[in-house]
Structure 1
Amino acid sequence: MTRKGKGKGKRKGKKRNQAIEKRPRWLELPEVIWVDILQRLGAVGMMLTAEKVCTTWRRLCKDPSMWRVINMNNCCDTYLVSYFKAQEMCRRAVDRSQGELVDINMEYFATDELLAYVAERSGKLKRLGIACCYDMVHKDLVEAVQKFPLLEELSLTHTTITTKGIEAIRRSCPRLKSFDVNNNSCFMCLVWYSDY
């Protein structure tokens, strides 16, 4: 009887070794490569898909350093995320940055309230991009931008910013190196905006 018991133990050991050998080789990639891959997905891709793949990716997706740059351009089109879901996801991404956010792009869904939320939690912000957001009041935009003392780049595309607002931002942001304003009519933006 003792021989049978020993034989079974060896079989179990072989199965464990085979299971270890069957582990995909891609799981052995250095963490630096995983970080690069995940950051290429962008904020929405990381939240909707990547963090659900495996525990390693989930752990990496929760690291605040992964959220220093938040790019949410075309998220409403690419991922079929609603206007309100995009705002919610942006808030979650800002929270995950834990104050380390330095660069954010918001397209189609930015509001005065959302920008105020970002301003309250992102004192290190150096770059801000807002596009196709027509329901923002220029006064609130100016107030929010003034809360970014390190802001170096500002891009406003298809927004309702006025000449007075542009001047106020220019005066209140001494570190600003690049300030792009493009308010030419955007058919795609106008069609999308008219749905709300």
Structure 2
Amino acid sequence: MEGDGFDARKWEDLDLDVLVTIFQKFNILELTSGIGHVCKSWRYAVCDPLLWKTLDFSMLTSNFIKIPLEPYVYVDRRSDKQLTKLLKIALNLSCGNATSLIFHVNLYVNDDQLAYAAERCPKLKRLVMPAWNRIKETGICKAISMWKDLESLTMPSIADPSCFMEEISKHCKKFSELKIMGVCDIEFVQSLVQYVPNLKVLSLRCSILYKDALLLVLNGLMNLEVLNISHSLIVEGPPPPAPIKVVEELDESILEKGSRLREFLTCMNDSCIMCQRMKMDEGLMRWYRYEKGLWKEDEVSSLAI
């Protein structure tokens, strides 16, 4: 109002730095909702590289049902279209500046979506993608070959990791951090020892971990500095369906080898709620039963979300 002593300002008149600071509080759904169409200054602000270093899709899940045959999930077509649309908008706005790409544990990306992301994230350093059900070996290997700067990966356990790890060895010379969510057996660790011997950080928290695989991690990954096996179900014996034995306490040889690391993080405590949940879920954590976002946690800060 005139004469009241106030100088009315419009949103579009805000300094660009102020707008960017405000937009940094928005999640990716809000940033891609069309706010860039409000005015020219908002468009400039929403395209600022600071907003697109991390593309965090962890609030988005697929609408899916489990099925008995591969890929073991069926994703609703509308859900797929929503993710594709969101990926296109976010990746176009990011202009190739994204260095971190994060997907929900129940977001089932397909080959086409992954290929689109790989082509438009050439500077990617961190990938968090715990569900690979709908991704073929050729799809993930092609994506990895495009990410020369990849340093950190969160992934599920897979049946034959050797081809994938070989691609990391060939193309990702800075690769140093790995988190596996699922089952860690001797075959998986053998591929790590063979193809990524310079691995510095490994998290196997809340996983089924075979004792012989743990021993190979400690003996074979000579450059390892940090190992997290907190709340894991450590077992020994042949793979299922043969009976397995749950290890209730780490023996002295494992503790001694672990003590050589900069950090050896363990928790096998019956009073720990996460350890209780792992036993109740028989080693395959059913994240949907528990607190929202619990799957994002990790005792290793660089691997937490």
Q: CA deviation at 1:148?
A: 0.6
Secondary structure in structure 2 of the residue aligned to 1:180 = strand
Indicate whether 1:167 and 2:152 are aligned: no
C-alpha separation between the residues in 2 aligned to 1:131 and 1:23? 46
Indicate whether 1:101 and 2:98 are aligned: yes
Mean Cα displacement is larger for which, 133-142 or 50-59? 50-59
Secondary structure in structure 1 of the residue aligned to 2:55 = strand
Q: CA deviation at 1:145?
A: 0.9
Query: Cα deviation per residue 1:126-179 (whole Å; 9 max; x = unaligned)?
Result: 1111133421123321221111111111111x4756332453244232210112
For 1:151, the equivalent position in structure 2 comes to: 150
Secondary structure in structure 1 of the residue aligned to 2:88 = helix
C-alpha separation between the residues in 2 aligned to 1:110 and 1:155? 14
Q: Please tell me the residue identity of whatever aligns with 2:94.
A: S
Q: CA deviation at 1:36?
A: 2.9
For 2:27, the equivalent position in structure 1 comes to: 42
Q: TM-score, normalised by structure 2?
A: 0.47
Q: CA deviation at 1:98?
A: 1.9
The answer (yes or no) to whether the contact 1:87–1:109 under 8 Å persists in 2 is no
Q: Please tell me the residue identity of whatever aligns with 2:128.
A: G
Q: TM-score, normalised by structure 1?
A: 0.68
Secondary structure in structure 2 of the residue aligned to 1:21 = coil
Q: Give the direction of change, closer, same or farther, for the CA distance of 1:161–1:27 in structure 2 (3 Å limit).
A: farther
Indicate whether 1:88 and 2:73 are aligned: no
The answer (yes or no) to whether the contact 2:145–2:168 under 8 Å persists in 1 is no
Q: Which runs of 5+ in 1 are unaligned?
A: 1-13, 190-196
Q: Give the direction of change, closer, same or farther, for the CA distance of 1:180–1:167 in structure 2 (3 Å limit).
A: same
For 2:127, the equivalent position in structure 1 comes to: 128
User: Among 61, 66, 71, which residue is 2:56 paired with?
Assistant: 71
Q: Which runs of 5+ in 2 are unaligned?
A: 63-77, 183-206, 208-283, 289-305
For 1:142, the equivalent position in structure 2 comes to: 141
Structure number with larger C-alpha Rg: 1
Q: CA deviation at 1:101?
A: 2.0
Aligned length: 170
Q: Give the direction of change, closer, same or farther, for the CA distance of 1:55–1:102 in structure 2 (3 Å limit).
A: same
Q: Please tell me the residue identity of whatever aligns with 1:175.
A: K
Q: Give the direction of change, closer, same or farther, for the CA distance of 1:36–1:181 in structure 2 (3 Å limit).
A: farther
C-alpha separation between the residues in 1 aligned to 2:34 and 2:157? 31
Percent identity between the two aligned chains = 20
For 1:21, the equivalent position in structure 2 comes to: 7
Q: CA-atom RMSD, angstroms?
A: 3.3
The answer (yes or no) to whether the contact 1:65–1:97 under 8 Å persists in 2 is no
Secondary structure in structure 1 of the residue aligned to 2:116 = helix
C-alpha separation between the residues in 2 aligned to 1:83 and 1:19? 53
The answer (yes or no) to whether the contact 1:116–1:144 under 8 Å persists in 2 is yes
The answer (yes or no) to whether the contact 2:100–2:126 under 8 Å persists in 1 is yes
For 1:8, the equivalent position in structure 2 comes to: none
Secondary structure in structure 2 of the residue aligned to 1:101 = coil
The answer (yes or no) to whether the contact 1:138–1:160 under 8 Å persists in 2 is no
The answer (yes or no) to whether the contact 2:12–2:42 under 8 Å persists in 1 is no
